């Protein structure tokens, strides 16, 4: 138990920050950090402590991916845009304009834009997340951006 507490104190902040930069949500980052350390606690007797940092970040990354996959398959939609706006601006009118613009796009375009620009997924991880070929996803990203710009300007 003492070793667990030592590792927890040493790495919790870094795991939390890692999750926060990828999810842009204090609640989600806290959940990811908690899940990561719970997995560590459960597997403590099997872990190689020399490589604990790598193990923690790997578990956190996989847990983040699992969370995003669950959301992208179920409830990641236009309804999430209020959360997106709240995370980076409190300009209600701007949020309404973004929401209105996104409502004119297809669900797949919204999903691509949210995972790329809100969740910060780079091309290859986003392609894996959405189960798409990276070259195809790149074309779909460009199309989604163009659709957003057209809808924004109209």
* Structural domains of the chain, ranges and CATH numbers in brackets: 2-73 (1.10.1740), 78-153 (1.20.140.160)
How does pLDDT run across 69-125, given as a tens digit for each residue?
A: 776 654 455 455 555 565 556 677 887 888 889 889 998 898 888 888 777 778 888
C-alpha span between 44 and 38 (Å, rounded): 10
What pTM does this model have?
Answer: 0.51
Per the prediction, the chain carries an average pLDDT of 84
């Amino acid at each position: 138990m003492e070793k667990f507490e030592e590792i927890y104190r040493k790495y919790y902040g870094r795991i939390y920050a890692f999750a926060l930069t990828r999810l842009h949500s204090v609640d989600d980052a806290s959940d990811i950090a908690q899940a990561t350390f719970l997995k560590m606690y459960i597997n403590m007797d099997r872990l190689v402590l020399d490589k604990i940092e790598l193990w923690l970040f790997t578990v956190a990354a996989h847990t983040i991916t699992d969370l995003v996959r669950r959301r992208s398959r179920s409830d990641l939609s236009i309804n999430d845009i209020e959360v997106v706006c709240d995370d980076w601006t409190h300009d209600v009118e701007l949020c309404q304009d973004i929401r209105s613009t996104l409502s004119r796009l297809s669900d797949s375009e919204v999903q691509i834009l949210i995972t790329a620009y809100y969740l910060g997924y780079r091309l290859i991880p986003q392609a894996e997340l959405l189960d798409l070929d990276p070259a195809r996803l790149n074309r779909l990203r460009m199309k989604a951006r163009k659709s957003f710009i057209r809808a924004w300007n109209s």
